Amino acid sequence: MNGGYPYEDLMAPEPRHYQPHDPPEARLHEAIIRREFVPYYHPQYDVLSGTPLGAEVLVRWYHPERGTVPPSEFLPMAERSGAVLELGDWVAAATCREMAPWREQWPGFRVFHNCSPRQLATPAFAQRLLGILSRGGVEPGSVDIEIATQTALSLDDTARGNLAAMRERGVAVVVDDVGAGEFSLPADTAIDGLKLHPALMLRLLDDPSAERLVRRAVDAAGGMPRGVAANGIEDPSQREALIVMGVSRMQGFLFCRPGPASGLGGIQVRALLTRPRMRS
């Protein structure tokens, strides 16, 4: 994730985009009320078995006049104005409803929610999210909170308290975008897992420093319950190289593109069709 903003959309651009001028910030509230935002999901797999492990929650804004508003435009605005709290609540509640069929099919299926600095710095944010999960019939133990490395390294007391309160109820805390910059983890915050940044995947096959960083992450996550996941896998060679390095949890276009819950019914089939060919 870039800059710690939640729900970054990894989909290719839609053919119709809004014009390059910001809508007023008040429009965000109106868009939520009118349900112009749509949750998208990007599945993550155990590539050794082809089993879907969970899905990262993303969000798209379909403006009725301007078309698709890029996340790079509306997420900073939502964070700046505080509308990210309302948007995050709506997305979390919608996800509780939409992911129910997947949880029935795969009992261990998890949901990965990105969490922004503004959300973490809000007093009682943990209780706010846990309340949404409770009302939606979702066990906190089936949810991961993903926070950017930069955010994890600059947590204040309120943010640490929110993370601790969520972990106490079973929510896992995963540090996202590992490998986007220098490898560093917070020393004073409990972490349950790491997620490798897509930019690292682009260098994986021809840059020895990328392989060293992956192996450092695997070692660092050795005692973490969620381990290491890799994001941005687009090529079978990347998948096979990661397996050799000890990473088997992956998501990326190689397996499945993000989409609405209604359009991802074949995620297990896609995973099985791209099962890795192990190196001899």
Give the model confidence (pLDDT) of 55-109 as tens digits: 999 999 998 888 888 888 899 999 998 999 999 999 999 999 988 888 888 888 9
User: Number of structural domains, the chain?
Assistant: 1
264 domain-assigned? yes
Strand partners, 195: 229
| 33 in a structural domain | no
Print the domain residue range for 214. 42-273
Over residues 228-262, the pLDDT tens digits come to 999 999 999 999 999 999 999 999 999 988 999 88
CB 245 within 8 A of CB 204: no
Q: Is 12 within a domain?
A: no
What pLDDT was estimated at residue 191? 94
As a whole number, mean pLDDT of residues 3-9 equals 40
90 assigned to some structural domain: yes
Dihedrals phi, psi of 112, to nearest 5 degrees: -110, 110
- Statement: residue 192 has pLDDT above 80: yes
Q: Which of the 8 DSSP states describes residue 259?
A: B
pLDDT at 1 over 80: no
Can you read off the two tokens belonging to residue 100? Answer: 């129910």
CATH code, 125: 3.20.20.450
Per-residue model confidence (pLDDT) at position 16: 38
How many Cβ atoms are within 10 Å of 231's Cβ, its own excluded?
A: 25
Q: Amino acid identity, residue 92? A: A
Whether 74 is covered by a domain: the verdict is yes
In the prediction, which pLDDT does 10 show? 36
Tell me if 185 sits within 8 A of 157, measured CB to CB.
no
DSSP 156-203: -HHHHHHHHHHHHTT-EEEEEEETSSS----SSS---EEEE-HHHHHH
Residue 101's pLDDT is: 82
Rg (CA), the chain: 18
Q: Comparing C-alpha atoms, which of 45, 10, 49 is closest to residue 232?
A: 10
- In angstroms, the CA 141 to CA 266 distance is 25
16: in domain: no
Long-range residue pairs from 208-211, CB within 8 A, at least 24 positions apart, any chain: 210/179, 211/241, 211/245
d(CA 106, CA 102): 6
Is a pLDDT exceeding 50 seen at residue 145? Answer: yes
pLDDT score recorded for residue 100:
83
Asked if residue 19 belongs to a domain, the reply is no
Confidence of residue 268 (pLDDT cuts 50, 70, 90): low
Is residue 125 assigned to a domain?
A: yes
Which residue type occupies 234? E
210, two tokens: 């990328």
Helix (H, G, I), strand (E, B) or coil at 28: helix
pLDDT value of residue 279? 43
Output 158 or 264, whichever has higher pLDDT: 158
**Reported confidence tier of residue 208, pLDDT bands at 50, 70, 90:** very high
The phi and psi torsions of 174 (rounded to 5 degrees) equal: -120, 135
- The pLDDT, as a whole number, for residue 248 is 95
- pLDDT the model gives residue 198: 96
User: Judging by beta carbons within 10 Å of its beta carbon (0-12, 13-18, 19+), is residue 220 exposed, middle or buried?
Assistant: middle
